[in-house]
Amino acid sequence: MRQLSLAYQRVVKSRKWAGGIIVLILLLLPFLIGPYPTTMLVLILIYSLVAMGLGLLIGWAGQFSLGQGAFFGIGAYISGFLSVEFGINPWLAMLCSGALAGTLAYVLGKPLLSVPGYKVGFVTIGFSWLFHEFISRLEMLGGSTGFSGIAHFSLAGFTFDKDYQYYYVTLVIVVLFFLLNQNFVKSKLGKQAKAMDTFTGGSALAAKSVGIDIGKLKTKIFMIAGVYAGIAGSLYAHYMTHLDPTPFSVWASILMLLIIIMGGVKSTWGGIVGAAVYFGLQEMLTFILGSKAPMGLQYLIFGCIVSLILLFFPTGIMGFISRLHQQLKQDIPSSLPMRKGFNDKAK
Amino acid sequence: MTKQNSQPFLAVKELTKYFGGLQATNHVSFDILPQEVVSIIGPNGAGKTTLINLVTGVFPPTGGSIWFNHRRIDRLPQAKVNYLGIARTFQDLRLFTNLSVVENVIVGARQRVKASLIEIMTRLGRSKRQESEAVERSMEKLASVGLDKKAHLYPFNLSAKEQKLLAVARCLATEPKLLFLDEPAGGLSREEIRELSSFILTLREKGMTIIFIEHRMEMIMGISDRVIVLNFGQKIADDIPAKIQENEAVLAAYLPKMENRA
Amino acid sequence: MLSLFLEALIPGLTQGCIYALVALGFVVLFSVTKMYHVMIGEFGMAGGMIGATLYAAGMPLYTSVIIAIVATTIISTLIWVAVFYRPFAKGASIMNLKLITIALTLVSVGIAYLLWGTNYKELPPFCRIEFNLGTVRIDPQAPWIWGVLLLIVAGLSVLFDHTLIGKALRASADQPIGARLVGINPNSMAFYAFVLAGALGGIAGIVVVPITMTYYANGIFLTLSGLLAAMAGGPNRVEGAIMGGLFLGVIQSLVGAFISSKYMTVITLACFIVILLIRPQGILGVKEEEL
């Protein structure tokens, strides 16, 4: 173990070089893997954005939401609709999506989160269901067949309509929101969120006693999660150029939840890891079986993987990796404990 | 001016609290004047911490009312009560063990600069100034209790006494006008009690009103302007320390315990 | 007008009974273990699919139904052992267990898809008597459903009030520490509650097949309806589950008949969400003491 630790520390020291190489790979990725996997990559990025917002909500506000699928859909439909009906510039439409999704999240979240006792999980799942039912029947938005004709993103006359171009646009936006997420976590608000979490070493009672308004903070974070999902939805709409209710069902909300939990809620990377596993699984199955895998098989295996990860790595993949990182950094030889309590002691 | 000074700063009127069938607080009434140092004493289970919980809004009273600065506060949420100027420590400290020493203080720090959410997430605008002001003020408070050198350690790195000081610093960051200390002297030596006592008096000089729950006689008798005695949820005495020592009801309540103290 | 009302009310009541059954399963589990899970509907789907498959393979109707229900019970036992049994679930918190059940829902949908594809499966009504209430035709399966609900409610009340194990379950629900003191093992109680909830889900699932058919993704719908009904009615009371379920069915039906059949689900859902927002403990629920 000690050898491994020393080797790891050497790698960490050369972080800057490693970082540079990774950035280079990221930029060249579409050309390395071909056009079809690139579309997968774009989807991974889009889903990871939703998951990132949800991760902030679960990991920092301690609040589960089964409604992100709805916010995702709301963002997508608003952006697509503005683009098709009014010819609004996709970038502007995206901002509108984010703003409207966020506002809706705030309106829904404020009564739900300010007073304890509300069954947030149920209300959000009901909200997801409601949205899906509603959007499947609304003629104006194409009902269950949806509508097409959504414009791609474009900048200064140049339209992003090739796969690798989407990839860059999406990559930039996701990186941006990744950084925003990090900024939040490092800020006073992020610290207040840690302080109010009784399960990981904080104390809700003490937090309140120093003036932290838990309900207000939770609502803010819920709103942020809504914005993330809304923007992701917009990205999705302008990428697909066609929208229908199918990807925005209750399943989507459940999927988002599973993705982020599996990835790890305390880390901003959790969303990306989770989404990568989900979509990567699809690809791997296709590769192994030689032809397109039946959807049922994918659900089955993904469900099993998530269950196993939850059983043995309750903090998710990133949780496990960050603990590994801590131990290797500090030269602690030990069998890697899987229990939740470990995090409180060693820092 | 004089009128303000003689009006009760904190007024508790017929305060009563039931937990199901158990009566924890029984029609307790008292007034606290600005810049008083008052101790609340009584046997274990007398309802002292419950009293703090009621005043600071942890749970609402079953009956009676609480007035702070002429404003009724008995059904306000904790965070609001703190915002109005009341802070408290906990008997079991409840430090944020997942935050560093200085971060423990930052999260509660009152500030002049307030950045919006967007500014915070993009690190533009006022956010950097907000962060630096928070750090500055927090370091000040830490310095005032002597913990500034340990700002980047974690609570579990601190000694018991240092942890208590951190708890106080955390409170002070909220710029309170009234401070409740729940058994601050537990486990301290005589010398440390003397330090703590003079620290409390310094706080009073800076304009604060202090109410503390204690069992240690040196502290109670040493710095209290007044002593309020509770037993079985009721107030059985409210007087200057000298008179309390001779009060029969107090002696009766305490007798088995007093022989082991001081 | 009256016949129109009845035409809407009766199927609504019938559907409501199904929701009530699922909600009952949920309430039984929740009141004993303070936990809930989203697999109840999946048990329903399993029950329905298994029963329909057996019948299609030639087995007599009643036997298929009974075997399906037994199979559901066995499956829920297996799930309990695999997920909740102490040695495996050592590090996991309650929240994690709930999440695992969500993941398992995905697994069960996957399995169902692989076994049966997207085909709908059906069953004939359990008893081929047709009858009418005035001019209103009643689906032959409907009385079965009402009957099953009544039977189950009666059975549950006998169980909880008159049998030792029922009383032990109730004790576990109300006073877990006291129950422990008198030798009741909360783990065993949780197990029984879990299996009972699964069985109830299975019954709900199979008894509805003659009316609405069943397919691999039916589970989620049952789960959501049952959960929403239970939550809105009051998750810690049997009466709450029944009321919530019946309400859900009836309101949906009436809204569909008199306001808008296109948006009936949407409006009903909105109503229930509003109920949850106004009265989070459910209409008949009891607020938990805050300390």
Tens digits of per-residue pLDDT, B112-139? 878 888 888 887 878 888 888 999 999 9
Contacts of C109 in chain A (CB under 8 A): 296, 299, 303
Using CA atoms, how far apart are residues A28 and B190, in angstroms rounded to an integer?
Answer: 69
Chain centroid to CA B231: 20
Nearest to A238 by CA among A134, A160, A156: A160
pLDDT for the residue numbered B182: 93
Number of cross-chain residue pairs from B and C with Cβ atoms under 8 Å apart: 4
Q: Is A51 buried (19+), middle (13-18) or exposed (0-12) by CB count in 10 A?
A: buried
Nearest to B185 by CA among B176, B195, B171: B195
The full DSSP string for C122-168 is: ----SS---EEETTEEE-THHHHHHHHHHHHHHHHHHHHHHSHHHHH
Contacts of A209 in chain B (CB under 8 A): 56, 78, 82, 87-88, 90
pLDDT tier, C288 (very low <50, low <70, confident <90, very high otherwise): low
Nearest Cα of chain A lies from the Cα of C247 at a distance, in angstroms, of 16
- The whole-model pTM stands at 0.88
Domain boundaries, chain A: 2-330
pLDDT tier, C92 (very low <50, low <70, confident <90, very high otherwise): low
Average pLDDT value for residue range B225-242: 91
Using CA atoms, how far apart are residues B171 and B174, in angstroms rounded to an integer?
Answer: 6
CB-based contact, B19 to chain C, within 8 Å: yes
pLDDT tier, C141 (very low <50, low <70, confident <90, very high otherwise): confident
pLDDT tier, A336 (very low <50, low <70, confident <90, very high otherwise): very low
Count of Cβ atoms closer than 10 Å to residue A14 Cβ = 9
- On the question of pLDDT at A343 being above 60, the answer is no
Tens digits of per-residue pLDDT, B158-206? 998 899 999 999 999 999 999 999 999 888 888 989 989 999 999 999 9
**Interchain proximity A133–C265, CB inside 8 Å:** yes
Contacts of A129 in chain C (CB under 8 A): 224, 269
Average pLDDT value for residue range A126-138: 91
SS3 C10: helix
pLDDT for the residue numbered C175: 72
Whole-Å CA distances, A207 to B97, B185, C235: 12, 23, 31
**Interchain proximity C103–A258, CB inside 8 Å:** yes
pLDDT for the residue numbered B6: 52
CB-based contact, A205 to chain C, within 8 Å: no
Could you tell me which residue, C19 or A6, shows the higher pLDDT?
C19
Nearest to B200 by CA among B38, B90, B31, B55: B38
Q: What percentage of chain A carries pLDDT values higher than 90?
A: 40
Chain centroid to CA C197: 7
User: Is residue A282 within 8 Å of residue C110, measured between CB atoms?
Assistant: no
- On the question of pLDDT at B58 being above 90, the answer is yes
CB-based contact, A183 to chain B, within 8 Å: yes
Could you tell me which residue, C55 or A66, shows the higher pLDDT?
A66
- On the question of pLDDT at C281 being above 80, the answer is no
- On the question of pLDDT at C1 being above 70, the answer is no
Q: What percentage of chain A carries pLDDT values higher than 70?
A: 90
Contacts of A212 in chain B (CB under 8 A): 79, 107-108
- On the question of pLDDT at B82 being above 90, the answer is yes
Closest A-chain CA to C113? A296
Which among B96, B136, B166 is the top mutation candidate for probing chain A, defined by the most A β-carbons within 10 Å of its own β-carbon?
B96
pLDDT for the residue numbered B107: 93
DSSP annotation of C68: H
CB-based contact, B157 to chain A, within 8 Å: no
Q: What percentage of chain C carries pLDDT values higher than 70?
A: 90
The full DSSP string for B5-70 is: HHS-SEEEEEEEEEETTEEEEEEEEEEE-TT-EEEEE-STTSSHHHHHHHHHTSS--SEEEEEETT
Contacts of A261 in chain C (CB under 8 A): 99
Nearest Cα of chain A lies from the Cα of B171 at a distance, in angstroms, of 7
Q: How far apart are the first and last CA of chain B?
A: 40
**Interchain proximity B99–A184, CB inside 8 Å:** no
Count of Cβ atoms closer than 10 Å to residue B210 Cβ = 23
Sheet holding B226-231, edge to edge: B86-88, B178-182, B209-213, B37-41, B226-231, B234-239
Among candidates C93, C103, C220 on the partner chain, residue whose Cβ is nearest the Cβ of A307 = C103
pLDDT for the residue numbered C135: 65
DSSP H or E stretch at residue A154: strand A154-155
pLDDT for the residue numbered B171: 93
Tens digits of per-residue pLDDT, B247-260? 888 888 776 555 45
Q: Which of A20-34, B59-73, C159-173, C189-203 has the highest mean pLDDT?
A: B59-73
Q: Is B4 buried (19+), middle (13-18) or exposed (0-12) by CB count in 10 A?
A: exposed
CB-based contact, A116 to chain B, within 8 Å: no
User: Is residue A230 within 8 Å of residue A94, measured between CB atoms?
Assistant: no
User: Is residue B108 within 8 Å of residue B174, measured between CB atoms?
Assistant: yes
CB-based contact, A203 to chain B, within 8 Å: yes
Which among C30, C42, C106 is the top mutation candidate for probing chain A, defined by the most A β-carbons within 10 Å of its own β-carbon?
C106
Using CA atoms, how far apart are residues B39 and B181, in angstroms rounded to an integer?
Answer: 9
- On the question of pLDDT at B4 being above 50, the answer is no
Could you tell me which residue, C180 or C153, shows the higher pLDDT?
C153
- On the question of pLDDT at C132 being above 60, the answer is yes
Which among C175, C288, C291 is the top mutation candidate for probing chain B, defined by the most B β-carbons within 10 Å of its own β-carbon?
C291
> Phi/psi class of residue A102: alpha, beta or left (left: φ > 0; alpha: ψ in -120 to 50)?
alpha
pLDDT tier, A341 (very low <50, low <70, confident <90, very high otherwise): very low
Nearest Cα of chain C lies from the Cα of A231 at a distance, in angstroms, of 25
Q: Which stretches of B111-237 are DSSP H helices? A: 117-122, 127-145, 160-172, 190-205, 217-223
Q: Residue B28: what residue type?
A: V
CB-based contact, B112 to chain A, within 8 Å: no
pLDDT for the residue numbered A342: 41
Average pLDDT value for residue range A221-244: 93
Count of Cβ atoms closer than 10 Å to residue C91 Cβ = 18
Average pLDDT value for residue range A145-168: 78
CB-based contact, B154 to chain A, within 8 Å: yes
- On the question of pLDDT at A206 being above 60, the answer is yes
pLDDT for the residue numbered C76: 87
pLDDT for the residue numbered B54: 94
| Residue with the two structure tokens 């979490």 | A197
- On the question of pLDDT at C131 being above 50, the answer is yes
**Interchain proximity B96–A195, CB inside 8 Å:** yes
User: Is residue C111 within 8 Å of residue A296, measured between CB atoms?
Assistant: yes
Average pLDDT value for residue range A86-105: 91
Using CA atoms, how far apart are residues A61 and A68, in angstroms rounded to an integer?
Answer: 15
Tens digits of per-residue pLDDT, A212-230? 999 999 999 999 999 999 9
Any idea which of B101-110, B250-259, C69-78 has the lowest mean pLDDT? Answer: B250-259
Tens digits of per-residue pLDDT, C214-273? 777 788 888 888 888 888 888 777 888 888 889 888 888 888 888 877 888 888 889 888
Across chain B, mean pLDDT equals: 88
- On the question of pLDDT at C151 being above 90, the answer is no
All partners of chain A with 3 or more CB pairs under 8 angstroms: B, C
**Interchain proximity A201–B97, CB inside 8 Å:** yes
Could you tell me which residue, B190 or A35, shows the higher pLDDT?
B190
Count of Cβ atoms closer than 10 Å to residue B53 Cβ = 23
Using CA atoms, how far apart are residues B202 and A212, in angstroms rounded to an integer?
Answer: 27
Using CA atoms, how far apart are residues C286 and C280, in angstroms rounded to an integer?
Answer: 10
Dihedral (CA of C254, C260, C265, C268) sign: negative
Average pLDDT value for residue range A82-89: 86
Q: Residue C245: what residue type?
A: G
Could you tell me which residue, A179 or A166, shows the higher pLDDT?
A179
User: Is residue A235 within 8 Å of residue A94, measured between CB atoms?
Assistant: yes
SS3 A87: coil
SS3 B178: strand
- On the question of pLDDT at C9 being above 50, the answer is yes
pLDDT tier, A345 (very low <50, low <70, confident <90, very high otherwise): very low
Nearest Cα of chain C lies from the Cα of B78 at a distance, in angstroms, of 13
CB-based contact, A129 to chain C, within 8 Å: yes
pLDDT tier, C291 (very low <50, low <70, confident <90, very high otherwise): very low
- On the question of pLDDT at B261 being above 60, the answer is no
Contacts of B107 in chain A (CB under 8 A): 188, 191-192, 195, 207, 210, 212
Using CA atoms, how far apart are residues C202 and C68, in angstroms rounded to an integer?
Answer: 8
**Interchain proximity B98–A200, CB inside 8 Å:** yes
Using CA atoms, how far apart are residues A268 and A249, in angstroms rounded to an integer?
Answer: 25
